Structure 1
C-alpha cells in the first residue's frame, strides 16, 4: 500500500472514529453506532472494534470518576470526624454527611 493510500485509509478511520464518538455523545447505544458505521461502509469487524474501544474508554472514565468520588468523600468524612473529635466545640455534621454520601456514591458507581 502506498503512503497516499495509507494516509487516506487512516484519515477515513479517524473520520469514522469521530463519527462514532458523535453518535455516542448524541445518546446512541452500541448497537446503533455499530449499524451506523456499517451503513457508512466500514466492515463489521472494524465497526465492532471501534465501538468496543469507545465502550472501554467510557468504562475507564466512569471507574476513574468513581474512585475520585470515593477518595474525596472519605477525605471529607474523616476530616469532619477528626475536627469533631478534636473538641473544637463544633460538630462538623455537614462535612461528615457530605463525605459519606459522596463516598457511597463512588462505591455504587464502581460496582455498577
Structure 2
C-alpha cells in the first residue's frame, strides 16, 4: 500500500511538472494544456485539476509582482517629488519619471493578470 502512495505522489508531481512546462515555457492556454495532458494519457480530471491549480498560482504570482511594482514605483515617484519640492538645488526627474512608469506598469500588469 505504501508503494502505491509513493507512485501516485510521483505521478501527480510529474503531471504538475508537465502542466507547468506547458503553461509557462510553451505559453499554452489552460484549455490547450489540458488537451495536451489528456493526449499523453493523463486522466481528464487530473489534467484539469493540475492546470487550474497552477493557473491560479501563476495569476497570484503575477499580481504579487505587479503590487510590488506599484509600491516601489510610488515610493520612487513620491520620494523624487518630495526631494525636488524640498528645494535642495536639484530636480529629481529620473526618480519621478522612473517611479511613475514603474507604478503604472504595475497597475496595468495587475489588472491584466489572467
TM-score by length of 2: 0.91
Residue 21 of structure 1, CA deviation: 1.2
CA RMSD of aligned residues (A): 1.0
**Helix, strand or coil for the counterpart of 2:28?**
coil
Query: 1:47-99: CA deviations, max 9, x gaps?
Result: 11101011101100110011000000011001101110111111111111110
Distance of 1:78 and 1:109 partners within structure 2: 21
Alignment: residue pair count: 111
Structure 2 unaligned regions, length at least 5: none
Task: Give 1:3's aligned residue.
Answer: 2
Residue 22 of structure 1, CA deviation: 1.4
Q: Which runs of 4+ in 1 moved over 4 A?
A: none
Structure 1 unaligned regions, length at least 5: none
Distance of 1:89 and 1:69 partners within structure 2: 29
Residue 43 of structure 1, CA deviation: 1.5
TM-score by length of 1: 0.93
Distance of 2:110 and 2:91 partners within structure 1: 30
Distance of 1:84 and 1:17 partners within structure 2: 51
Task: Give 1:93's aligned residue.
Answer: 93
